[in-house]
Structure 1
Amino acid sequence: MAAAADSASPECPGAPSMPTDPDFLSCVLQPPAPSSSRPDADYAALRRLLLRRKPPSALQHRMDWRCNGKGYVAYRNFLLRRIDGGSAQSTPSNSGRWAASPGPALSEADSWSSLRDLRTNSGLSRTVSISSKQSDAERHVRFAEPAYSFVGMHCIFDSCKTSVTILKFGRASSDLLAYGAADGSLTVCQVSEPPSVLQKLIGHSKNITDFDFSSNNQYIASCSLDKTVRVWEISKGTCIRVVYGVSSQLCICFHPVNNNLLLIGNSNKEINAINFSTGRVISKLNFDDAVTALDIDHTGQLIFAGDAQGYIYTVSVNSHTGSLSRTHKNKSSKSKSPITTIQYRTFSLVARCPVLLSCAQDGNLSFFSITTDAKGYLTLISSLKLASRVQTIRASFCPLLSLEKGEFIVTGSEDANVYFYDLARPKNSCVNKLQGHGSPVIGVAWNHGENLLASSDSEGTVIVWKRAKTN
């Protein structure tokens, strides 16, 4: 008891409590500025204290959020909800329509693994207490959320009468969606209140194979089997430039750093770097077969291209001059099936480095780590064999979902379902599926916040699915 009394600071009855914060004391002891218009010394001291103290960093906010039982996914969703102002209800408009409250036939049912995780988490929440001694594995299981759960359809676009071959959301956009069809049309929509078609871009005479948004979502560059590349101004709905080629143009992307540079792969076994302003070819690089898919890293220094024989090439690009040079050639699988999807991602918790996803037409999915200091050398981490496809079906990373529980991807299928797979699971990798299409699902795309997933099928229907809110 004596030790406890000694350790406590004595206080006189009736005496005011003195502040013990060293920052406050240092501010109080400083004399007021000579030019101060207020003679109140306490005011000057408090003002110095407030100016001296800095707000906590975003990292500290995230750590506090995690310690309070939330995950990084929940933190991101919380911020996005504050930015977007929450979801809105509306009525049908301009061929885009809100889906009704999802019933059992239209809504996506959680997979058995998701329900098992929920039961496990509810049990753990009653028996496991959060403390500083809790291991990372226990914390990961405790806070895992069924991030691949959906509540049903957000809206539907069904004005197209032919197969929708490719669809994408605008860059860093949760609202702007575009999709290209086999009849050569390119449709630009908004999915917020109310869902509607903004522009229908007509000019291509054959199947649209790929398109890409500029960094400010002001322009779209599209390529087609009609051997042309077209640049569109979205606000006016007009084609401002046409670049004619000698072969089918199969894939296209804007350079992320220099938006005046367009990179295009074609069936003439080459990648062309084109000046956006003039439409002239700056440089070209030849390959062993038709270049069917490509993507570029966030720095704009490396291009990853897939060809019709299943090979993946790493290409170095100069952001200023547009010059191209090949660095590596990698085999994605044992088959010689065309690559339908190449997608780069800046970081993965599984690989602890940049990663690449490739999808072949025969159903082979490959997941690579990228060695940046070796000019983009690829190392196969895992692969997944799905059913062979007749259609050119695409796949996509689920980067925000993968921060919680594994390495998720989403892909279409010829059985009219949208499937979610976890590449980190050697067995039972299918974790969920969405049912609602009536024909083979060809394209899939996430919006910026990953609260909406768009999928398209061979009959021209585009469905925007809404992810479940996590608490």
Structure 2
Amino acid sequence: MEATAGGSTATASAACTPAPSRPTDPDFLSCVLHPPTPSSSSRPDDDYAALRLLLLRRKPPSALNHRMEWRCNGKGYVAYRNFLLRRIDGGAASSSAHSTPSNSGRWAPSPAHAALSEVDSWSSSRDWRSNSGQLTRNISLSSKQSEPERHVRFSEPAYSFVGMHCIFDNCKASVTILKFGHASSDLLAYGASDGSLTVCQVSDPPSVLQRLIGHSKDITDFDFSSNNQYIASCSMDKTMRVWEISKGTCIRVVYGVSSQLCICFHPVNNNLLLVGNAKKEINAINFSTGRIVSKLTFDDAVTALDIDHTGQLVFAGDAQGCIYTVSVNSHTGSLSRTHKNKSNRSKSPVTTIQYRTFSLVARCPVLLSCAQNGNLFFFSIATDSKGYLTLICSLKLASPGQSIRASFCPLLSLEKGEFIVTGSEDANVYFYDLARPKNSCVNKLQGHGSPVIGVAWNHGENLLASSDSDGTVIVWKRAKTS
């Protein structure tokens, strides 16, 4: 009896002893704590959202890395299972491909996992690039890369393209500038050195809508109205013209005393046009009457300008490489200069001024400036200081012989960087990351036969248009990303 009692006591004591704590899967806990479906009479506990958020934030970092590295690309459960098995079996043996200026920017699998390429998403990492009108396969492999760098590069590919969407080669003169319509992925226009302005559509089938003839010398710049019904263009022939696109007619001509070099519509008051000229002025012109309502004088010819989305700040570049911030009244059109930046010490004319509302690098509005000597400058904009510019970084390219333009690239969702695209003298379109000065070139497109001058993205950011000195305009189709 004593033995039995003693045994019972021992058993009871063991039952009262707490079991050693073991880590619990946060996914399991979040499922267990999930409340029943709320009805009109019952609501889940208010603390549930905070508790579940805490559990999700305490997930193991390895699971987070798995999900960030995995790209579905239309694949299913088998592909994801193979992806996880490969990570468990191979560990750090799997590596991504290294991008060179000649490849498409996608990352290809290492040879060790080539056998899995038929069933998982690594096969979609192989991309195609266009070379002289023909699509050629381009895969570059590198097995020596650190884990942090591999993780960042794989999370989101660089800018890759599946080839040429369409080509316009009806112009026989150099195409100096091209732009897509506002909030439009189909409407494209380009101006040439013979004074012609061509409006076309890039959807299937691509076609030329209007050929606007009126300028007698080079088209220096143009801009679409907010509803894409009108185009305002300026030229070396000292005139500014307004065109009605649907009819293909010129409805207004404003004559100047010097070459008109840059132009843009005011984004808030579309009845206001801002025009920079070789007489060192920016003129605010009434769209309806063609009269100058305000003017502002600078130190040299105003060669490029852009305006912020609020319509309160204008950024202008001159022939000496200086960049000015100008305050504009949206109602009256009155102009006043606020700041002057002299980052371009070589005193080369500014060919591109482009404003962007947000940057992943600067976390604020930014400005891109491109000079004729190949210098690219990236500024942050202090909106609380009336547009004061602070230089973040710069990039020196090969000195071009022509006024080559540049443009911001669409924002990538995961990869941090400031990407720009620009033409070049070697007939290629180059993509650069301004935040990576030692290895800034991330991709290039080959297909033009002469120096590439202009580049422009459409509103949907799936098409890139580029123009060259022979009059050819190529529209490139960007690869789809999840």
Same fold (TM over 0.5): yes
**Could you tell me which amino acid in structure 2 is paired with residue 208 of structure 1?**
I
Q: Indicate conservation of the 8 Å contact 1:111/1:432, yes or no.
A: no
Q: Indicate conservation of the 8 Å contact 2:456/2:464, yes or no.
A: yes
TM-score (structure 2 length as normaliser): 0.73
Aligned to 1:129: none
What's the offset of the Cα at 1:256?
0.5
1:309 to 1:142, Cα distance in 2 relative to 1, 3 A = closer
Q: Indicate conservation of the 8 Å contact 1:253/1:264, yes or no.
A: yes
What's the offset of the Cα at 1:350?
0.4
Distance 2:223 2:295 in 1: 20
Aligned to 2:102: none
What's the offset of the Cα at 1:246?
0.7
Aligned to 1:203: 214
Distance 2:375 2:130 in 1: 34
Aligned to 1:420: 431
What's the offset of the Cα at 1:428?
1.4
Aligned to 1:26: 41
Alignment equivalent of 1:380, drawn from 365, 379, 391: 391
Give deviations 1:45-103, integer Å, cap 9, x for gaps: xxxxxxxxxxxxxxxxxxxxx999579x999xxxxxxxxxxxxxxxxxxxxxxxxx976
What's the offset of the Cα at 1:388?
1.1
Q: Indicate conservation of the 8 Å contact 2:161/2:477, yes or no.
A: yes
Q: Do residues 264 (structure 1) and 279 (structure 2) align?
A: no
Mind listing any 5+ residue stretches in structure 2 that lack a counterpart?
1-14, 20-33, 44-63, 74-127
What's the offset of the Cα at 1:215?
0.7
Distance 2:465 2:432 in 1: 17
Aligned to 2:480: 469
Q: Do residues 395 (structure 1) and 406 (structure 2) align?
A: yes
Q: Indicate conservation of the 8 Å contact 1:393/1:412, yes or no.
A: yes
Q: Indicate conservation of the 8 Å contact 1:452/1:464, yes or no.
A: yes
Q: Do residues 229 (structure 1) and 232 (structure 2) align?
A: no
What's the offset of the Cα at 1:459?
0.5
1:211 to 1:227, Cα distance in 2 relative to 1, 3 A = same
Aligned to 2:452: 441
Secondary structure of the residue aligned to 2:311 is coil
Give deviations 1:126-184, integer Å, cap 9, x for gaps: xxxxxxxxxxx799727622231111111000000000000000111111100000011
What's the offset of the Cα at 1:405?
3.5
Q: Indicate conservation of the 8 Å contact 1:147/1:470, yes or no.
A: no
Give deviations 1:202-223, integer Å, cap 9, x for gaps: 1111100000011111111000
Q: Indicate conservation of the 8 Å contact 1:102/1:153, yes or no.
A: no
| Greater Cα shift, 205-214 or 393-402 | 393-402
1:106 to 1:70, Cα distance in 2 relative to 1, 3 A = farther
Q: Indicate conservation of the 8 Å contact 1:108/1:433, yes or no.
A: no
Distance 2:248 2:132 in 1: 37
Alignment equivalent of 1:280, drawn from 274, 291, 295: 291
Q: Indicate conservation of the 8 Å contact 2:131/2:446, yes or no.
A: no
Secondary structure of the residue aligned to 1:400 is coil
Count of paired positions:
378
Aligned to 1:299: 310
Q: Do residues 176 (structure 1) and 191 (structure 2) align?
A: no
Give deviations 1:262-316, integer Å, cap 9, x for gaps: 0000000000000001100000000000000000000000000000000000000
Distance 2:294 2:381 in 1: 25
Aligned ranges 1:248-259 → 2 under 5 Å: 248-259=259-270
Alignment equivalent of 2:133, drawn from 87, 106, 110: 106
Secondary structure of the residue aligned to 2:437 is coil
Distance 2:343 2:136 in 1: 33
Q: Indicate conservation of the 8 Å contact 1:74/1:470, yes or no.
A: no
Aligned to 1:166: 177
Secondary structure of the residue aligned to 1:26 is coil
Distance 1:147 1:110 in 2: 17
1:286 to 1:204, Cα distance in 2 relative to 1, 3 A = same
1:175 to 1:324, Cα distance in 2 relative to 1, 3 A = same
Secondary structure of the residue aligned to 1:359 is strand
Q: Greater Rg, structure 1 or structure 2?
A: 2
Aligned-residue CA RMSD (Å): 2.9
Distance 1:229 1:339 in 2: 20
Aligned to 2:96: none
Q: Indicate conservation of the 8 Å contact 2:462/2:478, yes or no.
A: yes
Distance 1:470 1:120 in 2: 26
Q: Indicate conservation of the 8 Å contact 1:108/1:434, yes or no.
A: no
Q: Indicate conservation of the 8 Å contact 1:401/1:408, yes or no.
A: no
1:350 to 1:200, Cα distance in 2 relative to 1, 3 A = same
Alignment equivalent of 1:349, drawn from 360, 368, 391: 360
Aligned to 2:159: 148
**Could you tell me which amino acid in structure 2 is paired with residue 106 of structure 1?**
G
Mind listing any 5+ residue stretches in structure 1 that lack a counterpart?
5-18, 29-65, 76-100, 125-136
Aligned to 2:76: none
- Stretches (4+) displaced over 4 A: 1-4, 19-22, 66-71, 101-105, 107-112, 137-140
Q: Indicate conservation of the 8 Å contact 1:345/1:354, yes or no.
A: yes
Over the matched positions of the two proteins, sequence identity in percent amounts to: 81
Q: Indicate conservation of the 8 Å contact 1:332/1:358, yes or no.
A: no
**Could you tell me which amino acid in structure 2 is paired with residue 462 of structure 1?**
V
Q: Indicate conservation of the 8 Å contact 1:389/1:414, yes or no.
A: yes
1:390 to 1:67, Cα distance in 2 relative to 1, 3 A = same
1:239 to 1:372, Cα distance in 2 relative to 1, 3 A = same
